């Protein structure tokens, strides 16, 4: 059984473990004040081409989202998210547990636009309702689509005009940035958003997400929030060493590129079989619609996620590739689509 | 500069990194449902000699405390802790951030006893006050002292009699259990408490605390709490592999024993110098009271923590040893006490 | 200008103020432990024909909802509500501020049914999502519709089967119970739900909502929750005296009946004018769809709420009657619809 | 049995009920936007001699404290209070339930001073601890003592210097301001504090506390906080009408003066009997230390609170007078002290 179930089925990229080994017995400060974390942060600032940001290295996506969003909002302020948004559906109410409502926007492609936001603003007009204050988007979205530069720019302008915070969940940001249709850069993200995070757990690290805060008003005392929510690692070096390894050359991008390429191999086969997809994606998550008997046959050889039933005869499955996906297994799956259909 | 500042100044014990390397490219389930996490949990149950517990592998101490305590308490229920208690002073109000008061008990030795608890119960008598419901103790305490079996038994009985939950923060539990004056076992902890955790971050792991829940009423749906507070690791295997390595033989205890031995070397010298200690400790944290000029000289060679000023001429410092402390450095520090005083 | 804007535009029914005057200088216990509150609670138990309930007298609707729902749920549990639900849209995220998500169900008539609930349950299947645990309905709903006995029975069975709590917001319960199409009784509510509240603020009292808890598991220590959320009135007698006056005969029901009758007068005229309504209602809130020029003319003489724009030429307005609505003003408005159209 | 148990044993001062009756059938806006609430707020600004304040009329003390303090603080910020502070001991953890720690300061007279504050600041130095941000004091304190102008000024300066918010719980503020040893004015309070509240529930109203916010940074969007915590009354007029009546002449101060006078009658007798007091008080709460047999005799005729046991033979009792205390009953109690001792 080979797994295409997610992008966290293996450990870390070997270079990361080697870096941990290499530095293992050096003594250093705790709680992210070690030299590696500091170097990693400086390196990330260079990659982002923006020195005026604060960067915090955190452990996981849900943790990053809940710490950032609860830190950014006053108690009566709410986040806005697409109805597929991870904070809305797959984080066990983590944002609400910090006291904040998440307002849902109906979306077919996992993305939200300025009109959606303005509609929400028009519906929230006085103190009997929450105050919408933060726009949460994921790039890529939870269904594999990505934001184009123009789209993010428009969102950014809408947010600035309406005094909203624009926050990007980048759990799989590498895959978005390496998508063939992408035209966004890390630098764009830092100038067009108030905060975003670069996910590493799903792109080669054991754990690790780097939160970048551009908005000056959101920076103060952020480490208090991290500590209070249980996110300040005693051995913060573990995060610093990993990010340093991923970004000291292009490893982060190469790994994401590999994941995308593996998805493309499978995607191509799906199209050639004449199968539809739930939504067209150029990133490392693909959502073919498969007849139920094909589903059964695939399940004998592969692990993947049954996403939803479309009708009596067809289901959507989710296939995820990663930095660790073996090319021969991607090709085998691609062939099996054709063979087993 | 050699650091005696804390027990998380280095990475992980080499065997742990080797185990991570060895298993690195195996595919497995996410979120702690992998084979290693499951095996580690079964192994821990054996070591605890109690199959009727639920075990969850978490990342850090503050995270474990806040998830467990908020899961165990209703909104108007409070925790009781010694005034030195980690949740009371060093977790940035993490428990309060989940909605619960922590009631402080004045304590000279970092421990609390049945009388302290009964006093709190007598002062909280109606719905205008919080309901004390959980007794939080640390073993060893934050100042290095440990609970004897008889003391824990008495606390346990008081808690049972008063329908209180007894919870033990075991961030440095290994050091307590390997202390020469200790008479407690893991098995005792599981029968005398409602929940406790075995800390690994400070005893050889990169990250990792194992929460053991004995009380049947506290077990249900616990993973929902973990996820909601941002504690469910995508690559949960990282925790499982580490605990498996630490407990498949006696590594966990050997590492703690080493830390204690290193402290003992330094402790002996302190006594021989005629220096007092803030409190007598047989674990890996020691608190000598040193004249200020000795303090200055020591600071040239070693890192440690200035704990508090005693008077114009003397200060308490905290020296922490660990699994990684080099014996020759412990001896050098021991000698320097005598030489530099 | 006569106001049909809401049912809390005046003070209290004169009998209530008389009762407050009559008892004013008697000394009694604070915090709802006075004789009047106790008598009121016993009287309500009789009216409900159920002695096995706990009753708490609270001050307002949002307060009652947030205290009850936060007391009933564990931190990862969520409420389900229709998309028009008061807790979802008009309480400034009060439920979320206590840590709980409110799951929205699309509804055209303000009501939810078993299928809606089962759909939500099917979508919330593991610890990555909140656990739906409480079904919140309003009777009448926020758009004036009511639940029939059969509908509530079905909901009740669905909730029992799925271990869900059924909670009814009765801010305008009197109006529902006196609606000509109603077949529910207070007794039904106490046996078919786990908790519900009888609203008095909108039916003749200065303040006051009576929360009735039938489910044994939800009763313990409830006063701790009231106090903690700021809802325990020092002069709790003010609530007791009012409920006693409203229920010692049929005053509560007579007042609601008057409000409904006044609405019916206006409703009849609307139909005779050939105007549509947003939704058919037999309670004290009606939602005619009016041409914009009629809207303008009505605004010269009356206060009411502009609910929403339907198209370029028509708008929905909300007209609310109450125990205090003068019959001649209801008739004048009814006539003006015909005259001004 | 005559009650000296508290100052909320009766209803409202008759003039307040008359005012409610007089205005009862007038139609007005809900949620505190009515003419009476607006007039009351303007009137209070005049009395305070400060137009640059925001004033909100709320229902009870715990509610006011929790809404204000949670609105003023970021999640990692804490309040500081004397160990007798109402928010610390008698509000069921209401502040913690909004996520904030309350730091306790040991105090013998219920007051805190600059040194206490500076000590707390010195102990909270980094992100592993909460950030002390708000100083909570009560005037009079929970044990009847009051702050002199000089004391408040010093606190105010310490708070300004350290960027702390100074907040005064004025549940019994009238009694403090009418105390013979008082030299503070409402105007002083508005200039020396960031926010304070004028309590009316314990000085003649049915319900009602007026929160005055002077600090510009704390004013924005405050009504969102009120609504979210369940404190926005539909019939807000009930609060406005009462405050208007209490402050349109000197009623508020006359009532407080009466309460103090009644306490003084009893106090004088206690001194003449040679009985000690727990703490000397010039306000409406007194704390005599009585032999147990006197206690028993008094309990036959009067209600009061047993505050604490001093030793085997003596107890502290709390006697509270109010606007409603009958002079002949105060004199009777005063005589009974002499007669029954």
A207 CA: distance to closest CA in chain D (Å): 22
Same domain for C154 and C259, yes or no, is no
A126 CA: distance to closest CA in chain C (Å): 9
Q: Is the pLDDT of residue D118 over 90?
A: yes
What is the interface size between C and D, counted as CB pairs within 8 Å? 155
B228 CA: distance to closest CA in chain A (Å): 5
Distance CA D49, CA C74 (A): 48
Could you tell me the CATH number of the domain that includes residue C286? 3.90.1150.10
Q: Give me the pLDDT at residue C341, please.
A: 85
Sequence-ordered list of residues with C-beta below 8 angstroms from that of D261, at least 6 positions apart, any chain: none
Instruction: Look at residues D222, D247, D272 and tell me which one is the last residue of a structural domain.
Output: D247
Residue C328 Cα distances to C2, C259, C323, C325, D169, angstroms: 11, 13, 14, 9, 48
Helix/strand/coil for B46: helix
Could you tell me the CATH number of the domain that includes residue D32? 3.40.640.10
A175 CA: distance to closest CA in chain B (Å): 18
Q: Is the pLDDT of residue A109 over 90?
A: yes
Same domain for B168 and B278, yes or no, is no
Which DSSP helix (H) or strand (E) runs through B71? helix B61-72
Chains touching chain A through at least 3 C-beta pairs below 8 angstroms are B, C, D
Sequence-ordered list of residues with C-beta below 8 angstroms from that of B118, at least 6 positions apart, any chain: B158, B162
**CB-closest option in A61, A207, A229 to B238:** A207
Which DSSP helix (H) or strand (E) runs through B165? strand B165-169
Same domain for A164 and A307, yes or no, is no
Interface test mutation site (partner C, options D199, D234, D324, max chain C beta carbons within 10 A):
D234
* β-strand pairing of B302-303 with B2-3: parallel
Residues of chain B found within 8 Å of residue D104, distances taken between Cβ atoms:
104
Interface test mutation site (partner D, options C2, C17, C20, C27, max chain D beta carbons within 10 A):
C27
B99 CA: distance to closest CA in chain D (Å): 4
**Across B51-73, average pLDDT:** 98
Helix/strand/coil for B43: helix
Q: What is the DSSP letter of A214?
A: -
* Dihedral class, residue B18 (left if φ above 0, else alpha if ψ from -120 to 50, else beta): alpha
Give, to the nearest 10 degrees, the angle between helix C237-247 and helix C14-22.
130
Same domain for A219 and A260, yes or no, is no
Q: B96 vs D91: CB contact, 8 Å cut-off?
A: no
* β-strand pairing of A209-213 with A302-303: unpaired
Helix/strand/coil for A240: helix
Tens digits of residue pLDDT in B290-326: 999 999 999 999 999 999 999 999 999 999 999 999 9
Tens digits of residue pLDDT in B147-169: 999 999 999 999 999 999 999 99
Interface test mutation site (partner C, options A93, A104, A123, max chain C beta carbons within 10 A):
A93
Distance CA D231, CA C231 (A): 9
Query: C62: number of CA atoms within 13 Å, CB side?
Result: 28
Upstream peptide bond of A140 is cis (omega within 30 degrees of 0): yes
Is residue C185 a contact partner of residue C135, using CB atoms and an 8 Å limit?
A: no
Is residue D284 a contact partner of residue D261, using CB atoms and an 8 Å limit?
A: no
Interface test mutation site (partner B, options A5, A11, A19, max chain B beta carbons within 10 A):
A11
Is residue C313 a contact partner of residue C292, using CB atoms and an 8 Å limit?
A: yes
Distance CA A146, CA A285 (A): 11
What tokens were used for B326? 């080099």
Q: What is the mean pLDDT of chain B?
A: 97
Closest chain C residue by Cα to residue D221: C92
* Closest C-alpha to C148, from C172, C176, C173: C176
* Closest C-alpha to D120, from D62, D65, D77, D67: D77
**CB-closest option in B75, B92, B99 to D127:** B92
Same domain for D22 and D82, yes or no, is yes
Exposure pattern of B253-278 as b/e (b: 16+ CB <10 Å)? bbbbbbbbbbbbbbbebbeebebbbb
Interface residues of B toward C, Cβ cutoff 8 Å, are 70-71, 74-76, 98-99, 127-128, 130-131, 221, 223-228, 232
Tens digits of residue pLDDT in A184-231: 999 999 999 999 999 999 999 999 999 999 999 999 999 999 999 999
Q: Is the pLDDT of residue D285 over 90?
A: yes
Structural domain harbouring D261: 2-7+251-340
Confidence of residue D341 (pLDDT cuts 50, 70, 90): confident
Tally Cβ neighbours within 10 Å of residue D274.
7
Sequence-ordered list of residues with C-beta below 8 angstroms from that of A126, at least 6 positions apart, any chain: none
Q: D130 vs B100: CB contact, 8 Å cut-off?
A: no
From the centroid of its chain, how far is CA A12?
17
Q: What is the DSSP letter of D194?
A: S
Interface test mutation site (partner D, options C19, C31, C169, C230, max chain D beta carbons within 10 A):
C230
Q: Give me the pLDDT at residue B341, please.
A: 86
* Closest C-alpha to C173, from C159, C188, C158, C160: C188
Same domain for A283 and A185, yes or no, is no
Residues of chain C found within 8 Å of residue A128, distances taken between Cβ atoms:
90-92
Same domain for A278 and A218, yes or no, is no
Q: Is the pLDDT of residue A279 over 90?
A: yes
Q: D129 vs B90: CB contact, 8 Å cut-off?
A: yes
Distance CA A261, CA A248 (A): 22
Same domain for C128 and C110, yes or no, is yes
C179 CA: distance to closest CA in chain A (Å): 28
Q: D93 vs B130: CB contact, 8 Å cut-off?
A: yes
The total number of structural domains that make up chain A = 2
**CB-closest option in A27, A62, A232 to B9:** A27
Distance CA D194, CA B47 (A): 57
Tens digits of residue pLDDT in C303-340: 999 999 999 999 999 999 999 999 999 999 999 999 99
Residues of chain B found within 8 Å of residue D93, distances taken between Cβ atoms:
76, 78, 99-101, 130
Instruction: Look at residues D191, D221, D247 and tell me which one is the last residue of a structural domain.
Output: D247
Q: Give me the pLDDT at residue A119, please.
A: 97
Same domain for A173 and A212, yes or no, is yes
Q: Give me the pLDDT at residue B6, please.
A: 97
Distance CA D25, CA C212 (A): 30
Same domain for C270 and C236, yes or no, is no
A8 CA: distance to closest CA in chain D (Å): 31
Sequence-ordered list of residues with C-beta below 8 angstroms from that of A256, at least 6 positions apart, any chain: A174, A175, A177, A178, A203, A284, A323
Residues of chain B found within 8 Å of residue A201, distances taken between Cβ atoms:
234-235
Residues of chain A found within 8 Å of residue C99, distances taken between Cβ atoms:
93, 96-99
Sequence-ordered list of residues with C-beta below 8 angstroms from that of A146, at least 6 positions apart, any chain: A139, A140, A176, A179, A181, A182, A184, A282, A283
Distance CA A27, CA A323 (A): 31
Q: Is the pLDDT of residue A341 over 90?
A: no
The gap between the terminal CA atoms of chain B, to the nearest Å, is 19
**CB-closest option in B70, B98, B128 to C227:** B128
Closest chain D residue by Cα to residue C241: D11
What tokens were used for A118? 């303005």
Q: Give me the pLDDT at residue B317, please.
A: 97
* Closest C-alpha to B269, from B198, B337, B181: B337
For chain C, list residues with pLDDT below 50: none
Sequence-ordered list of residues with C-beta below 8 angstroms from that of B44, at least 6 positions apart, any chain: B55, B198, B210, B212, B243, B247
Tens digits of residue pLDDT in B213-257: 999 999 999 999 999 999 999 999 999 999 999 999 999 999 999
Residue A292 Cα distances to A297, A309, A315, angstroms: 9, 9, 6
Same domain for B196 and B285, yes or no, is no
**CB-closest option in B74, B131, B224 to C127:** B224
ipTM: 0.97
Per residue, what are the HEC states of chain C? CEECCCCCCCCCCHHHHHHHHHCCCCCCCCCCCCHHHHHHHHHHHHHHCCCCCEEEEECCHHHHHHHHHHHHCCCCEEEEEECCCHHHHCCCCHHHHCCCCEEEECCCCCCCCHHHHHHHHHHCCCCCCCEEEEEEEECCCCCCCCCCHHHHHHHHHHHHHCCCEEEEECCCHHHHHCCCCCCCCHHHHHHHCCEEEEECHHHCCCCCEEEEECCHHHCCCHHHHHHHCCCCCCCCHHHHHHHHHHHCCCHHHHHHHHHHHHHHHHHHHHHHCCCCECCCCCCCEECEEEEHHHHHHHHHHEECEEEEECCCCEEEEEEECCCCCCHHHHHHHHHHHHHHC
* Closest C-alpha to A262, from A318, A182, A328: A328
Query: C27: number of CA atoms within 13 Å, CB side?
Result: 17
Q: How many helices and strands, by DSSP H and E, does chain A display?
A: 14, 13
Is residue D68 a contact partner of residue D195, using CB atoms and an 8 Å limit?
A: yes
D133 CA: distance to closest CA in chain A (Å): 13
Q: Is the pLDDT of residue D248 over 90?
A: yes
**CB-closest option in C3, C11, C66 to D235:** C11
Distance CA C316, CA B164 (A): 56
Same domain for D298 and D172, yes or no, is no
**Across B121-129, average pLDDT:** 96
Residues of chain C found within 8 Å of residue A99, distances taken between Cβ atoms:
93, 96-99
Exposure pattern of B24-35 as b/e (b: 16+ CB <10 Å)? beebbbbbbebe
Tens digits of residue pLDDT in A127-169: 999 999 999 999 999 999 999 999 999 999 999 999 999 999 9
Q: What is the DSSP letter of D179?
A: S
D19 CA: distance to closest CA in chain A (Å): 29
Distance CA D231, CA D169 (A): 17
Q: B221 vs C99: CB contact, 8 Å cut-off?
A: no
In terms of C-beta density within 10 A (0-12 exposed, 13-18 middle, 19 or more buried), how is residue A332 classed?
A: middle
Sequence-ordered list of residues with C-beta below 8 angstroms from that of A279, at least 6 positions apart, any chain: A108, A109, A110, A143, A144, A145, A287
Instruction: Look at residues C219, C247, C275 and tell me which one is the last residue of a structural domain.
Output: C247
């Amino acid at each position: 059984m080979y797994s295409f179930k997610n992008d966290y089925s293996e450990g870390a990229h070997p270079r990361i473990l080697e870096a941990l080994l290499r530095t293992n017995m050096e003594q250093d400060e705790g709680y992210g004040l070690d030299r590696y974390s500091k170097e990693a942060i400086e390196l990330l600032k260079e990659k982002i081409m923006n020195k005026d940001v604060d960067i915090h290295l955190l452990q996981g996506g849900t943790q990053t989202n809940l710490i950032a969003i609860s830190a950014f909002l006053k108690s009566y302020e709410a986040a806005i998210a697409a109805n597929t948004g991870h904070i809305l559906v797959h984080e066990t109410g983590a944002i609400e547990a910090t006291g904040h409502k998440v307002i849902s926007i109906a979306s077919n492609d996992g993305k939200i636009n300025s009109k959606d936001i303005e509609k929400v603003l028009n519906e929230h007009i006085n103190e009997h309702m929450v105050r919408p204050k933060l726009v949460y988007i994921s790039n890529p979205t939870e269904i594999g689509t990505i934001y184009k530069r123009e789209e993010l720019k428009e969102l950014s302008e809408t947010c600035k005009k309406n005094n909203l915070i624009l926050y990007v969940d980048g759990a799989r940001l590498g895959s978005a940035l390496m998508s063939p249709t992408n035209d966004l850069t890390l630098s764009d993200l830092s100038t067009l958003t108030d905060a975003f995070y670069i996910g590493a757990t799903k792109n080669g690290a054991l754990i690790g997400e780097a939160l970048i805060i551009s908005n000056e008003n959101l920076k103060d005392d952020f480490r208090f929030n991290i500590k209070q929510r249980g996110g300040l690692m005693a051995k913060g070096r573990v995060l610093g060493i990993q990010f340093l390894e991923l970004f000291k050359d292009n490893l982060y991008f190469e790994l994401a590129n590999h994941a995308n390429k593996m998805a493309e191999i499978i995607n191509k086969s799906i199209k050639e079989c004449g199968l539809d997809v739930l939504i067209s994606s150029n990133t490392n998550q693909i959502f073919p619609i498969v007849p139920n008997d094909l589903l059964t046959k695939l399940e004998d050889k592969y692990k993947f996620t049954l996403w939803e039933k479309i009708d009596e005869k067809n289901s959507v499955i989710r296939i995820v590739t990663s930095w660790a996906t073996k090319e021969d297994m991607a090709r085998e799956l691609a062939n099996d689509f054709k063979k087993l259909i």
